[in-house]
Amino acid sequence: MIRVENLVKRYGNIVASNNLNCHFEKGKVTVILGGSGSGKSTLLRQLTGLEQADSGAVYFDGVNLTGLSKKKLYVLRKKMGMLFQGSALFNYLNIFENIAFPLREHTKIADNIIKTIVTMKLEMVGLRGTENLMPSQLSGGMMKRVGLARAIVMDPKIIFYDEPTSGLDPISTGVIDKLIRDLNKTLNITTVVVSHDIESCFRIADNIIILFYGDIIASGTAQEIRNSKDPRVKQFINGDPEGPIPFTRTSKNYLDEILID
C-alpha cells in the first residue's frame, strides 16, 4: 500500500528522517512508535504528502508522492482519511456539518444522501444523536470519535491516526483502540497510527516501527517487537529512564556549555 524508500528529511542540523526504508501493508494496522522528537510526525506528514522529503520516495499504491503536484495530491488524498491529534473539528460547525464537510468539499452528492452517509458513520462510532451538538459540548473522547467519523466519511483506502489516544482517560482510550481495530477489520482499511502509547500500541498493532532520532531502530510484528532483545527497544517499551536512549538530545557536554562562554 505504502512503500518508503531512502527517505531523508532535515530541519537545519536535525535529521528527522534518516534514510528511512519501510513498508505499510495493505489491510494491516502499523504503529509508528517513538519518543518526542523521534521523527514520527515528520514521517506521517511525508506519508500523507503534507510535507515533501529532501530526498527519497514515498509510493502510495505505486504512485510516488514526492514531487507530485498539489492538484494530483489533492485527488490522491480523497483516498486517505486522517484523524488529527487534537481532532481538528471546526468549532463553528455542528457535528453533522463537521462530518459532512469532506463530502461537500470533494463531491456533488445530494443533501439527502449526505444525511444518510453521516448517519451511517455516526452509527459506526456510536454517536448517533449528536448531530446538532457543537464540538465544545463534547468530551475529548467523543471529539476523537467525531474526528474518526469524519476521517472515514469518504470511505478511504487508508487512514492515518496522529496520537489518537493522547490526553484520553483509560476507558476512552480503550474505546478508540477498539474502534481503530474494528474499522480496520470490517472496512479493511489500511491503518497507520503514530503513537507513544505502548499499551495502546500492543492492543491494536499488526506491525510496529520504532523510530529513534530519525532512524528506524526496530520493525516487525507486534510479537517480534515485544520479544526484541535490542536494549533500545526494551528501554522504550518498558519506559526505563536509564538506558541507551539518552534523556537529553544534545551531544554537547553540559559543563562545557555552562562554563565556556
Partner 1 sequence: MSFKIKSNEKENIGIIKVDGEVDMFSSPNLRDKLLPLFEKGVKGVIVDLSGVSFMDSSGIATLVEGLQWSKKDNKQFVLTGLGANVLNALALTKLDSVFNIQANANDAYKTLLNI
Q: Which residues bind partner 1 (CB under 8 A)?
A: 78, 103, 106-110, 112-114, 116-117, 120-121, 123, 153-155, 186-187
61 or 123, CB closer to partner 1? 123
11 versus 74: smaller Cβ distance to partner 1: 74
Q: Any idea of the CA torsion for 195, 33, 159, 127, to the nearest 10 degrees?
A: -30
Tell me the closest approach of the beta carbon of residue 106 to partner 1, in angstroms: 7
Q: What are the backbone dihedrals phi and psi of residue 182, each rounded to the nearest 5 degrees, phi first? A: -65, -45
Cα end-to-end distance, the chain, whole Å? 52
29-33, strands of its sheet edge to edge: 80-83, 158-162, 190-195, 29-33, 207-212, 215-221
Give least dist CB 6 to partner 1, A: 34
Question: How far apart are alpha carbons 216 and 198 in whole angstroms?
Answer: 17
The phi-psi region of residue 3 (left if phi > 0; otherwise alpha if psi is between -120 and 50; otherwise beta) is beta
Q: Given the complex with partner 1, which of 53 and 114 has the nearer CB atom?
A: 114
Q: Which three cell numbers stand for residue 30?
A: 502499523
Shortest distance (Å) from residue 78 CB to partner 1: 8
Which is closer to partner 1, CB of 60 or CB of 212? 60
Q: Is 218 helix (H, G, I), strand (E, B) or coil?
A: strand
DSSP string over 11-61:
ETTEEEEEEEEEEE-TT-EEEEE--TTSSHHHHHHHHTTSS--SEEEEEET
The three cell numbers of residue 111 are 443533501
Supply the minimum distance, in Å, between the C-beta of residue 32 and partner 1: 28
Min dist. Cβ of residue 112 to partner 1 (A): 5
Nearer to partner 1, 156 or 214 (CB): 156
> In the complex, what is the shortest distance from the CB of residue 120 to partner 1, in angstroms, rounded to a whole number?
5
Rounded to a whole number of angstroms, the minimum distance from the CB of residue 113 to partner 1 is 4
Closer residue to partner 1 (CB): 185 or 252: 185
C-beta closer to partner 1: residue 155 or 230: 155
Contact 32, 209 (CB under 8 A): yes
